[in-house]
Each structure stands twice: as C-alpha cells, then as structure tokens.
Amino acid sequence: MTSQYSIRRVDAVLKVIGQLKSVDFPYEHSKHALEKVESHFQKLKLDIERSLKSDSPDLSRNTCAEALEQTFVFLPILGFILRSTDIGNAFELHGPLLRLARTLLGDNIKLIISSEWEYSPYTYLPIPQLDQFVLIGLPSPESANPLVFPLAGHELGHTLWRYSGHATHIKPAIAEGIINDIKSNRWDEYVKTFPSQERDRSTYGDHPTDMEMIAPASAWAERQAEEVFCDLIGLRLFGKAYIHALTYFLAPGFRTRLPHYPRLSVRFRCLSDACHEYGINKPEQFADIAAVAEVQSDPTNVEKFMVSLADTALDRSTTTLMQLARHAAEDAGIKLPDDEEIDHVVETQFKKGVPARGQSGLANILNAGWRAFQDKDMSTANPNITNYEDFLKELVLKSIEVFEIENRTAN
C-alpha cells in the first residue's frame, strides 16, 4: 500500500510538470530545468517499481521515503520555475546577468530569474539534479525594479562560495581562531559559561569535546563569513549601485538579529573598507541602517557567548574575504564600473530621456540609474513626465535591452 501511494504521489508531480512544460517561458532555461526535474522523478518512479519486485521491505520503504523527501525538495522549485513566467519580472535582465554569471562561474551555467513571496532576494543552493543552474528570486514587489538588481550579485556570491570551495577552506581557520581566542582572551568567560567543563587551559582544543562545545559559534561564524563574502562580490560586480540597493532593502534595519547573520554595522563597515581596497569611490554617506543597535531576542548566556565568539571570528576573517572576492572578479576578468561612462550616460542620455547606448557593462547602466535617481535636478530636466521614478526605471530597463541587443549583434 505504501509503495502504491508513493507511485501515485510521484505521478501527481509528473502530471504537474507536464502541465508546466506547456507554458510559454521567456527563455529556455526554465524549460530545461523542468526537463531535468521530470527525468529525476521518472527515475524515482522506476526505482519504486523495481523495489516492489525485490522482496525487500527495507529497500521498498527507503525508496518510497526518498521519493517523498524529493517531493518536498522540488515542489517549491517547480513553483519558482512557474513564477519565472510572471510578466512582472524584468526579463530584460536575464541575458546580461547570464553572461555575468557565466563569466564568474563557468560557461555551462544556466540561469532562472523569478519572483519570491518573501521580502528578501533568494537563491536556491546547488542541487545535484540542477547542478549547473543558478536560480535567483527577487521579492515580488521589486521583481521589475532594475535599481535593486545589483542584489543579484550577492546571490551569485552564494553559488560562487560553494563552487570555489571557500566554505571548506575557511572552516578550519575559523574553528582554530575561536579556540585561540578562548585560550588567549576569553578563558575566564568560558569557564564561567561552562562551569561543568574542567579543562586545562594549556591543552584546550586538543580534545574532541572542545570542538563540540564551540560548534554553534563556529557554524554561525561560517555563515556570517559567507554573507559578508556575498556582499563583497555584489560590491565588486556592481560598485556603488550594490550599496544603494542593499541600503534600499535593509533600511532602517531590524531591531533583532539572527546569530548566523553578521551585524548590519559590520556588513557596512566591510563594504566601506572594501571600497577603499577595490578603488571604488564610496557613497558620501552610508545609510543610518549601519547605526541600528540590534539585539538578540532573549538570548541565553551561552548563546550570548557563542555569538560574541562568532562575531570576533568574523572580524578576523574580513581581510581574507575581501581578497577572495577581489581575486574571483579579477580572475574572471570582470572590470569595475567606469565612473566616466556612468557620467556620460547620465549627462548625455538619461537627462534627455533616452536609453543608454554603447555601454561596456551592466554595472555602468545600473550605477547610472542610481545616480539619476538621486539627482534632484533630473526630474526637472523632464517636466512633461508625471512620474519620474517609474519613467527612470523604464529607461534603465530599456537601456539594458539596448545593451543586450548590442552584445548579440556584435557577436
């Protein structure tokens, strides 16, 4: 009976996939992903059918459980793929971002851009069945707003973090740093927090249980490091436009924090330092968001101690993270936004209400968009336009469309 139920569930998923395949997709990668998922569920069904003939109850049970787990994994992805057809999405961005993703991650990358019903940009982490796909979701209210699209650089950073193996390399350094921090600076606090742990300070870190005790701090520091790395990738790819987009999304910040996210003040400090490191003229003022005093929600003494260890471990890692992000972009041959080209776009094209032409990169257009958005004189330069903000967004999208046409016709 369980096997028959499992087959029916898999058949139901396959039926939905068949229906989705008839949808008109704006680009082929969505359909390619559906075909991959369909093939995966056809194999799951075949595995269940074979397990029925094996006379092994354990094999049958495990095979059915695997199919059930995979249904939980892939149903949200099927919804994501369907939403990639939403006319509210900025389809103009797919081609330029795909080229950028392939430059950064490899020529075999396929890209799906969709909308999400959570107010945060999102990327699905690599899945074996979709290992060459990058799936980036933007919040539905902003999915057609090109000014926030530099945040896609942060989402590309998550994929790069895993493709490059940075997570594997930084993990032991973080754990070792936490151990050394406790031994050198935090021993009395450690003993007070864990009074039942009778350890010799000189040999602390040599016993496996020592690592188990600090596992939460180490895991949180690793997650924080990934988030900062992704910020730095976004900055290196899109320059000041990334800072403006991040500020738009996060201002004025949250009153509480999750321990696996770095403090906002730390994120913006790292971006400020990286502007100097990368040769980017940072905005005159960072948003007030950087000064928001976040607090943890009713943390225990142990959690406070662990979070402080994680925060300190992140502080020791920021220089390395800046170097990793810079080398990733430089090795891929990705140039920084060009301030002269950005000025040219704003002064000679956007102020006249015409799309940008002859641009060397998506980042220049997006930075020109932000510069025009923040220029109080721009709306008065076009007095016949009733809603200048909407007009500017359309102008940026048209510029990206022109940029894509120029690239395709040049190759």
pLDDT in tens, 19-39: 999 999 999 999 999 999 999
The least confident of 87-101, 250-264, 291-305 is 291-305
Q: Is the pTM of this model over 0.75?
A: yes
Q: How many CB atoms lie within 10 A of CB 295?
A: 10
Rounded mean pLDDT, 149-166: 93
Q: How many CB atoms lie within 10 A of CB 411?
A: 5
pLDDT at 190: 87
Rounded mean pLDDT, 77-99: 93
- Is residue 155 in a domain? no
User: Are residues 174 and 291 located together in one domain of the fold?
Assistant: yes
- Is residue 156 in a domain? no
User: Are residues 139 and 269 located together in one domain of the fold?
Assistant: no
Is the model's pLDDT at 143 over the cut of 60?
A: yes
User: Are residues 317 and 230 located together in one domain of the fold?
Assistant: yes
pLDDT at 381: 65
pLDDT at 369: 95
Q: At which residue do the structure tokens 């301030």 appear?
A: 339
Is the model's pLDDT at 144 over the cut of 70?
A: yes
Instruction: Return the structure tokens found at 118.
Output: 């959570």
User: Are residues 242 and 271 located together in one domain of the fold?
Assistant: yes
User: Are residues 391 and 317 located together in one domain of the fold?
Assistant: no
Instruction: Return the structure tokens found at 276.
Output: 């100097």
User: Are residues 70 and 186 located together in one domain of the fold?
Assistant: no
User: Are residues 189 and 292 located together in one domain of the fold?
Assistant: yes
User: Are residues 134 and 226 located together in one domain of the fold?
Assistant: no
Helix count and strand count (H, E) for the chain: 16, 3
pLDDT at 286: 64
Q: Residue 251 in contact with residue 287, Cβ under 8 Å?
A: yes
User: Are residues 109 and 257 located together in one domain of the fold?
Assistant: no
Domain interval for residue 382: 339-410
- The residue among 275 and 376 whose pLDDT is bigger is 275
- Is residue 67 in a domain? yes
As for how many domains the chain has, the answer is: 3
Compute the CA torsion angle 58, 63, 69, 73 (nearest 10 deg).
160
Tens digit of each residue's pLDDT (9 = 90 or more) over 292-315:
556 666 677 888 899 999 999 999
The least confident of 30-34, 180-184, 236-240, 327-331 is 180-184
- Is residue 211 in a domain? yes
- The residue among 160 and 88 whose pLDDT is bigger is 160
- Is residue 319 in a domain? yes
Boundary-marking domain end, from 308, 331, 354 = 331
User: Are residues 395 and 356 located together in one domain of the fold?
Assistant: yes
- Is residue 359 in a domain? yes
Boundary-marking domain end, from 149, 178, 210 = 149
Q: Residues of the chain with pLDDT > 70: what percent?
A: 94
User: Are residues 272 and 376 located together in one domain of the fold?
Assistant: no
User: Are residues 131 and 263 located together in one domain of the fold?
Assistant: no
Is the model's pLDDT at 345 over the cut of 90?
A: yes
- Is residue 158 in a domain? no
Boundary-marking domain end, from 331, 366, 401 = 331
- The residue among 384 and 109 whose pLDDT is bigger is 109
- Is residue 154 in a domain? no
Tell which residue, 281, 291, 276, has the closest CA to residue 241: 281
